[in-house]
Every structure is written in structure tokens, then in C-alpha cells.
Structure 1
């Protein structure tokens, strides 16, 4: 009998049992988000209703949607299971303690669903926020940098010894805060389509065990047993070339004395073409985040006649920071960025985020173009 894709809903602490039941029936779980608007929920259900999953599909997960509408990614059971031993080694649980992992991101996010799958195969028992104070039991953490920062500030991770952090760039201040609390931090780069690609213990991104990396014309390609089968419905950024796959991320491989480290530059499809220059938003964002008054930033192209686009930035001010002005920003960025990379238009406010905590780039652009966010005054 051909397996069906079954959309699962429920409170986070209930999802593990729901997913277990779907898998036991030989079907494919896709965890939905109860906060979805009706139109999105209907679109997902329409997509899976008559779907014919490819042979071997066992899991369906959602991309983050940070650049637009989330996509449904299909993968085999083995594509996750083969990475479980390496992930267990990274989490490095003490032998005498029960293994418990805190999962603050919604179960609909692929990183949380991965940990649920790991739990069903004997991995750490998952615990979720808002359920009888269970985060206090956790010996490890798996989530985004934003969630780690919030939980550290709230003091809700008293027993955590290791934090596995993905989904977006880890600020070194968050790493330092965690390490000051005795927490070992392992950041990683990955994608819903590729799973784990590279890990960083504080000394630079290195290939995840079992993964080979190659940079072709500035674009990162991955040879990995953890890659997904593809998408349900219309395609996305995943492309393949034999055993190699890419989602279009730009990167460099830097060769050291004993290993190669990976430096990410951003997504090729997010590059800003301004006059005769090509600007990678993530490179500008990394510089902006070094400014003490800025907690986070999203850089994007603002349409402009004659030059294609102007570099624009939406800034999320750091709590308690003094008021940001365009004059102060221009003075600071002129010392950090070349002329083509300096934002010409500035917005400020709390960044919209996806369910997993990543900045929602497409929504930032929509709000800026619609005039729904504040421009930074001179």
C-alpha cells in the first residue's frame, strides 16, 4: 500500500506520540503549525491530499520560509538515521544522566522534527517550552541562536551541558554567554534539503562527519548521505549533479595546516545587483551586527530606477541602546564597508521572524515596500 502524507497538529509535547503513530502505520508525518493562517493550512492540505510520494519517502518536513513560502521536503528514514550517531557524539551526554534535549522551536520546523525522529530511534527524550517546566530537565539544547539567547536570559536551562545551534548565524556574544554558564556550544550549517553540512565548535565550520564539500564558481556543493529526495509539488533551490547537491549557498573553502574550514557568504539568489556591483546581503549583515546598538539586521535590495536596486537594511535595535540615526550609521559603516556595500536606505523596528526564529526576509521586504516600517531619521 502506498504511504500517505499525514499532516499532524497538536501541542508540542503531544507531537511525539502523534508522529510515532503515523510512522507505525507506515505513513509519512508532516507536522503542521496551528498558528498557520487558514489560506496556508488549506494550501498545504491541498498539496498533500493527492500526493504520490517517491519510493522510500518516510519523512516530510518544511523549509523555514525565511525567503518566502515554506516548501515540503521529502526524505528517506536513512537520510536522518545515518547521522544520529554523529549527533549523539556531538551532544556528548554524561553516561550517568538521562539524555533530555530542549526543543524550543516549533515541531513544524525541520530541526525540531529531526530531534523527534532521533528520539523515536533511541535518541534524547525531547522536552518543550511551556509544559510543566520541563526545560529544567534538559541536559542538551537543539534550536536557533535566538531561542538559545532567550532561554539563557531567562535561566531556564540549569542542567544543559551542550547546545546544538542551527537555523541562522550564531552571534559570538551568545556563544560566550553560554560558555560562561558552562555550556559547550556546537553551531552548525545545514538546510532542510541537505540536513547537517558543517559544524563549528568555535574554531570554524568543518564538514559534518560523512559529508564532502566542494565550491564550484563560488557555489557550495555537498556530497552527503543525508540529502533529501526532493520537494512535494513545485521545486525549490535544491539541485543535483550525480551524487552532489546544492541549495545555492555561496561559500569559500579555506585550507589550513590540517583541515579545511568553510566560510559562508550567503545565497546566490538573494544577491543585490546595484549599478555595476553585486552585493551579498549576509556579508553586510555580519558587519552591521558588530555595531553594539544593533541586535540583528536584514539587508535587501530596494528597487530603484536606473541602478536596479539600492542596498537597504532593516535594523532591530539592541535593548536599551541609544537612538540610531542615519548620520551615526553612515559614519560607522563607512569604516566597515566599501561604497557599493553601504546601505542607502535604513529602516528600524522588531524584525518579523519565522516560526523557528529566523528573520523572515520576504516579510521584511514586503513591509518596507508597503511603508509599514519606520525609516531611520537623520
Structure 2
């Protein structure tokens, strides 16, 4: 019998057993988010209602990409299972008995990184702990989530047994790494994508290939040869492209090819962002993630999203929305210009500034499409001069 895609909704801890049941029946679980607006819920259900996944599909996850348009990514069971031993090694602590290992999963199961950890748990990995489980949180020995979620947990101060944090989804700043490490938490950041799964890991010395993955940079794009790549998409396509055994989603990077090169050592990746998010302004191409990295170094800035605002004659003006750090005075354009004049070239300096709490996806990553929509609709504050 042909497998079906079964959309699940509900409380996170109840979903684990329901996911197990769907998998045992030979069907493909796709976890929804109860916070979806009605239109998004209807669109996802319409997409999967009559769908027949390809042979071998065992998991389905949602990714919004940089455009905000939901896509369903399909993958085999093996494409995740082959990485479980390496992930177990990253999360494990010899001082913690295997039976006591538990992983905090702040993002809902609709997030592919949380769904991965649920799949791992169903195959013998650490027991999942979800928000609201205070007893489980106090006993958790590891973490898997975004930098934003890790910061929130650290600020809450209830992680007495936490020994390892596996952090992905967006940029991890060095101050947050240092804060976690000062509490005895080993931090392993990683770069990946819903379509590619794990690509590279960083223990503090730079991004290097995840075990079993070959990484190459072609024309500025990251290409991987990996046993963890997804089958593809349900319905309309997305950024995943293949060339024989190699695949890419269009992420931009530089590869440090030798010991003489600057950086953390041979084989280290320096990510530059997504090619489809580049801003063309006058005669310059601006990669938002590069500007964001500099903005996060500005005192008083907790996080930032950079985007283009259409402008006749030059293509686009570089704009930025800043999330202020708690306790800092009001940010002004004058103070920003003073700090950034030595860090960014003229074309890369934002001309339009907004401030406020960044909207985030279910996994805790900044929701770029929503930031742009709110800024252009006048729903967020402009930074004063």
C-alpha cells in the first residue's frame, strides 16, 4: 500500500507517541504548528491531502526558506539515522549514564531540528524534553536548538545538569558561547539545512565538515556530498539543486584551503549567507549576513536582520531592523554610523533603520520575510537620528 503523509497537531509531548504510531503504520509524519494562521494551515493540508510521497520517504518537515513560503521536505529514514551515532557523540558526556541522558528541545516539533531529535529519540537517542516540563528541564543533560533559545534558557538559570549544547539555525555569537562555557556547558555549533541536514560543525575553532560529509565551494556556493541529503520537495520545488552525488541549497561561503590562509585552520568554512538574499544596491552586491555579523558587535544590539528596500535608480537601499539588548539606552542612527564607519564599506552601511523585537519562526530563527513585511508596512519603529 502506498504511504500517506499524515499531518499531526497537538501538544509536543503527546506528539512523540503519535509520530511513533504513524511511522509504525508505514506512513510519513508531518508535524504542524497550532500557531499557524488559518490560511497557512489550509495551504499545508491542501498540499498533502492527495499527495503520494516517493518510495522510501519516511519523514516530512516544513521549511520556509528565505522567502517565507512553506515547503515540505521529504527524506528517507536512513538519511537521518546515519547521522545518529555522530550526533550522540556530540551530545554525550561520559559522566552521564546513558539512561539519564535527556535533550532540551525549545522549538516545537514543527521545526525540522526538533523533529530530527524526536526521530533520534525514537531510535534510542536522548529523551526529549519540551517547554513546560520543569522537572525534565532541571534534569536535562543536553540542548538542541537555536542561539535565541539557548540565551533564553541561560537567562532562566534552570540548567543545573546541562553539559552540552548543540546549536544551529542561525548565527552563534562568541559572547553567547562564552556565557554557556562559563557555566560548564560545552557548545557545538553547526551549519546545515532542512534539505541537507548536518553539513559542518564548530567546536569553537571554526566550521569543519560533519562526519561523513564532503564539502566543496564552487563559484562561492557550498556543495556537499552526503548520505544525509533529503529526497526533495512535495509540490513546487525549492533551492535544493543536485549535480550527481553533490547537492546545494545556494548558501554562500569561503573555504579556507590551507594552513597558510587566515582563519581557524585548513578546511574551515566561513559562511556568507544565501545567494537568493543578496541585495543589489547601485553597483554593489551586499550579503545581509555579513552586515548582520557586524551589527551584532555593536553595543546595545542583541540581534539584527538586514534587507533591501526597493529604490529607483540604485536597485535597493540597505535597511536593517535591530533588536535592542535589555537595559541599553535608545539606539540612534548617529551612534550606529560612528561605530560602523570603520567596520563596513559605504555600500554596505544601512541607510534605513528600524528597531523592535524581531519576529521569529517556530524554531527561534529571525523570520526575514515577516521583518520585511512589517518594516515596509510601517508596523515597526524607525530609529531616531
What is the TM-score of this pair, normalised by structure 1? 0.98
The residue aligned with 2:269 is 262
Tell me how far apart the structure 2 counterparts of residues 205 and 131 of structure 1 sit (CA, whole Å).
Answer: 33
The residue aligned with 2:101 is 99
After superposition, give the CA deviation of every residue in 1:59-83 in whole Å (9 maximum; x if it has no partner): 0011155531221100000000000
The residue aligned with 2:21 is 21
After superposition, give the CA deviation of every residue in 1:218-237 in whole Å (9 maximum; x if it has no partner): 11111100000000111111
Give runs of aligned pairs for residues 101-120 of structure 1, distance below 5 A. 101-120=103-122
- Superposition deviation, residue 38 in structure 1: 1.0
Give runs of aligned pairs for residues 172-321 of structure 1, distance below 5 A. 172-257=174-259, 259-321=266-328
The residue aligned with 1:322 is 329
Any idea what SS the aligned residue of 1:264 has? Answer: strand
Any idea what SS the aligned residue of 2:247 has? Answer: strand
The residue aligned with 1:136 is 138
Segment drifting more, 21-30 vs 91-100: 91-100
After superposition, give the CA deviation of every residue in 1:16-36 in whole Å (9 maximum; x if it has no partner): 101000001110000110111
Tell me how far apart the structure 1 counterparts of residues 282 and 20 of structure 2 sit (CA, whole Å).
Answer: 53
Q: Answer whether contact 1:67 1:360 (CA < 8 A) is retained.
A: no
- Superposition deviation, residue 326 in structure 1: 1.0
The residue aligned with 1:57 is 57
- 2:159 is aligned, of 150, 157, 160, to 157
Any idea what SS the aligned residue of 1:286 has? Answer: helix
Any idea what SS the aligned residue of 1:133 has? Answer: helix
Tell me how far apart the structure 1 counterparts of residues 111 and 345 of structure 2 sit (CA, whole Å).
Answer: 36
Tell me how far apart the structure 1 counterparts of residues 110 and 204 of structure 2 sit (CA, whole Å).
Answer: 29
- 1:332 is aligned, of 332, 339, 342, to 339
Q: Answer whether contact 1:112 1:143 (CA < 8 A) is retained.
A: yes
The residue aligned with 2:362 is 355
What are the ranges of 5 or more consecutive residues in structure 1 without an aligned counterpart?
Answer: none
Moved over 6 A (4+): none
Tell me how far apart the structure 1 counterparts of residues 84 and 64 of structure 2 sit (CA, whole Å).
Answer: 22
- Superposition deviation, residue 331 in structure 1: 1.3
Any idea what SS the aligned residue of 1:114 has? Answer: helix
CA RMSD of aligned residues (A): 1.1
Any idea what SS the aligned residue of 1:327 has? Answer: helix
- Superposition deviation, residue 93 in structure 1: 3.0
Tell me how far apart the structure 2 counterparts of residues 259 and 287 of structure 1 sit (CA, whole Å).
Answer: 24
Any idea what SS the aligned residue of 1:2 has? Answer: coil
Q: Answer whether contact 2:66 2:277 (CA < 8 A) is retained.
A: no
Any idea what SS the aligned residue of 2:268 has? Answer: strand
Tell me how far apart the structure 2 counterparts of residues 174 and 132 of structure 1 sit (CA, whole Å).
Answer: 23
Tell me how far apart the structure 2 counterparts of residues 59 and 314 of structure 1 sit (CA, whole Å).
Answer: 35
Segment drifting more, 245-254 vs 87-96: 87-96
- Superposition deviation, residue 314 in structure 1: 0.5
Tell me how far apart the structure 2 counterparts of residues 23 and 175 of structure 1 sit (CA, whole Å).
Answer: 36
Tell me how far apart the structure 2 counterparts of residues 188 and 123 of structure 1 sit (CA, whole Å).
Answer: 19
Any idea what SS the aligned residue of 1:54 has? Answer: coil
Tell me how far apart the structure 2 counterparts of residues 198 and 114 of structure 1 sit (CA, whole Å).
Answer: 16
Q: Answer whether contact 1:65 1:360 (CA < 8 A) is retained.
A: no
- Superposition deviation, residue 132 in structure 1: 4.6
Tell me how far apart the structure 2 counterparts of residues 331 and 185 of structure 1 sit (CA, whole Å).
Answer: 33
After superposition, give the CA deviation of every residue in 1:225-270 in whole Å (9 maximum; x if it has no partner): 0000000111111111110100000001002437310000000000
Q: Answer whether contact 2:305 2:321 (CA < 8 A) is retained.
A: yes
The residue aligned with 2:353 is 346
Tell me how far apart the structure 2 counterparts of residues 208 and 34 of structure 1 sit (CA, whole Å).
Answer: 33
Tell me how far apart the structure 1 counterparts of residues 344 and 319 of structure 2 sit (CA, whole Å).
Answer: 14
Any idea what SS the aligned residue of 2:14 has? Answer: helix
